[in-house]
Structures are given as C-alpha cells and as structure tokens.
C-alpha cells in the first residue's frame, strides 16, 4: 500500500529545490550588482527574523485575512452562478456576454470606484480582491459544469434524482477541481491587486509595509516585506493543494 506521506514529502522537496534556485540567483545578482537596493539573501533573512513577530506578523495577518475573506465571497458568488451558466443555455446566453466584457478589464483600474462605493476601509480591499477571484473562478466553473456528460444526468434522473440531486452528486464533484484551479490561477493576481490596494488609506498589510519601507529608503526592510508576501502566497497555494489532495480523487 502506498505511503500517503510520500506526495507531501515530494512536494516539500520540490518547494525546497525551487527556493534554493531562487535564493542562488538572488545571491549572484546581489554580488554582481553590489547595490544596496538589492541586499543579499542572508541579510534579508536575518532582518525577517528581527522583524518577527512584530511588526511583520501583524502585516502578514492583515493581508492573509483579506485574501481569505475574498476567497470565501468569490466562491459563494461564482460557484452557483458558474453552475447556472454551465447548465442553463438561456442564462448563459444572457449573462456570459456581460461577464466576457468585464473579465479583461484590469480590476485594479476599478479601485477608485470601489473606494467610492465601499469607502476606504476593509470592505474596499476585500471587495477588489473578490472581483479578481470571482471572474477567474466563474469561467472555469461554467466550463466544467457545461462539460458534465449528459449521460451522467440521465442515469441519475432515471433513478429518480431531482435537479438538486444532479447538482449535489454530479455537477459539484465535477466542478470542484475547476474551483481549485480558478483559485490557484487567481491567487497570484489577487495578491498583486491587494498589494496595490494596501498602499492607500491603511497602516496594516504587507503592501503598506513594503511601500512604506521603500519610501524611507529602508531597502532591507522592503525586501523582508517582499519575502513575507511570498510566504503568504506560498501558504495560500499550499492550502489549495491540500484541499485538492483531500477532496479531489484523481
């Protein structure tokens, strides 16, 4: 019987080798450039330890909480709408064109409108990240729901299943991998948008910490904030991978 710990160990090993490559390239660039704007990794990592837990953890927690709230809101909105568009041609023909027009619009360009509508507090920052994740998830869920074989639905209907059973036992299991794919694709963009949103009207968040350090010419602190933001991104990716390993059967 296969050891369930092997995929986890392999994933950790892959992450370790990838981190080693990145740190190696970073070290070489720092030596070649010999510029204080790009301090070497050992100096930055030492500063990360100095800034841990205060104030780095508070900024990281603020950013992570905003992303997790946005993930929840985007999932609640995109999942039922994506299933509706994938399973109902009339709804798809009416709503999909509008979604297509909105999807390529850079969501960060809507940040002033979001600030005007939701204020300059937490709701605006969560809202702009929710917009990014919503459209990423909507289309992958719709396409996955549309790709469910009609024969599966006919079999369940023949056994007395109702539409609610079709959604629960056929469509949802089929779209779950798509939901996780949408999250995985959207997280990187969401963090980039959140970074920008955190530079306005707030004093907490890694975006604020990085730009504040840059404005003070504290380049080592700036790089420490970038490392912390990278760790938040890796943590989010890891959570998605764990969810996939638990709920998706390959």
pLDDT at 215 over 90: yes
pLDDT for 170 equals 86
pLDDT at 132 over 70: yes
CATH at residue 120: 1.10.3720.10
28 within domain boundaries: no
Under the banding of pLDDT at 50, 70 and 90, the label for residue 92 is very high
pTM exceeds 0.95? no
**Mean pLDDT of all residues belonging to the chain:** 88
153 within domain boundaries: yes
Structural domain for 79, as ranges: 53-247
Under the banding of pLDDT at 50, 70 and 90, the label for residue 61 is very high
Distance of CA 74 to CAs 24, 62, 79, 160, 239, Å?
Answer: 37, 18, 8, 33, 16
Segment 9-24 mean pLDDT: 82
What are the counts of helices (DSSP H) followed by strands (DSSP E) for the chain?
A: 11, 0
Q: What percent of the chain has pLDDT over 70?
A: 95
pLDDT for 1 equals 44
pLDDT at 3 over 60: no
Start-to-end CA distance of the chain, whole Å, equals: 17
pLDDT for 8 equals 61
140 within domain boundaries: yes
């Amino acid at each position: 019987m296969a050891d369930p710990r092997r995929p986890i160990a392999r994933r950790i090993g892959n992450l370790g080798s990838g981190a080693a490559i990145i740190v190696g390239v970073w070290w070489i660039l720092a030596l070649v450039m010999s510029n204080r704007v790009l301090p070497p990794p050992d100096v930055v990592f030492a500063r990360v330890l100095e800034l841990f837990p205060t104030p780095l953890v508070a900024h990281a927690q603020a950013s992570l909480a905003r992303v997790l709230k946005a993930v929840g809101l985007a999932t609640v909105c995109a999942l039922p709408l994506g299933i509706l568009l994938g399973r109902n041609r009339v709804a798809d023909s009416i709503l999909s064109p509008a979604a297509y027009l909105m999807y390529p619009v850079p969501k960060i360009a809507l940040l002033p409108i979001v600030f005007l509508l939701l204020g300059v507090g937490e709701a605006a920052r969560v809202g702009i990240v929710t917009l990014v994740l919503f459209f990423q998830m909507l289309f992958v869920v719709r396409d996955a729901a549309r790709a469910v074989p009609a024969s599966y639905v006919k079999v369940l209907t023949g056994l007395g299943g109702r539409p609610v059973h079709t959604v629960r036992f056929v469509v949802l299991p089929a779209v779950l991998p798509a939901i996780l794919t949408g999250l995985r694709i959207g997280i990187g963009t969401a963090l980039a948008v959140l970074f920008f949103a955190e530079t306005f009207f707030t004093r907490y968040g890694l975006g604020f910490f990085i730009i504040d350090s840059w404005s003070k010419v504290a380049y080592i602190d700036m790089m420490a904030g970038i490392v912390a933001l990278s760790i938040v991104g890796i943590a989010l990716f890891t959570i998605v991978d764990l969810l996939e390993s638990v709920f998706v059967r390959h």
